[in-house]
Amino acid sequence: NAGVTQTPKFRILKIGQSMTLQCTQDMNHNYMYWYRQDPGMGLKLIYYSVGAGITDKGEVPNGYNVSRSTTEDFPLRLELAAPSQTSVYFCASSYSIDPGGTDTQYFGPGTRLTVL
C-alpha cells in the first residue's frame, strides 16, 4: 500500500511550456484534491474531485486543468506555464460515503515546480 504517489518530484519549466503532474492513490478513495503551497501562504485548493468523471474548481483554478477518468488517478495539467505557478504542488485523497464527511486527507510527497 503506497498511499498517494506523485511524479515528478522536481521540474523546471520555461515560460509557456506545458506539463502534467501525475497523482495516483491505491486506497480506493473517492475524493481527490490538488493543492499548491506557497511560502508563508499555507495551502490553496486548486481543483478537487468527488469521484471518477467529476471534478470541480477550488480557490485558485486559473491556469490549470484536471481530469479524473479512474478512481486511482487525478492528473493536473499546466498549460502555458507562468512564473506565478512556481510552487510546491500536493495531491491528496480521502474517503467518504457522503459529502458532509469529515474523513482524513492523505497527502502525497509533493512536486516542486519552478517556472523560469
Partner 1 sequence: AQSVAQPEDQVNVAEGNPLTVKCTYSVSGNPYLFWYVQYPNRGLQFLLKYITGDNLVKGSYGFEAEFNKSQTSFHLKKPSALVSDSALYFCAVRDTKTGFQKLVFGTGTRLLVSP
Give the interface with partner 1 as residue ranges (CB under 8 A): 4, 31, 33, 40-45, 48, 50, 56, 58, 90, 92, 94, 96, 99-110
Residue 47 and residue 56: Cα distance in Å, rounded?
Answer: 6
Whichever of 9 and 14 has its CB closer to partner 1, that residue is: 9
CB of 90 to partner 1, least distance (A): 6
Residues near 39 by Cβ (< 8 Å), separated by ≥ 6? none
Whichever of 17 and 37 has its CB closer to partner 1, that residue is: 37
Whichever of 17 and 95 has its CB closer to partner 1, that residue is: 95
Number of neighbouring beta carbons within 10 Å of residue 10: 10
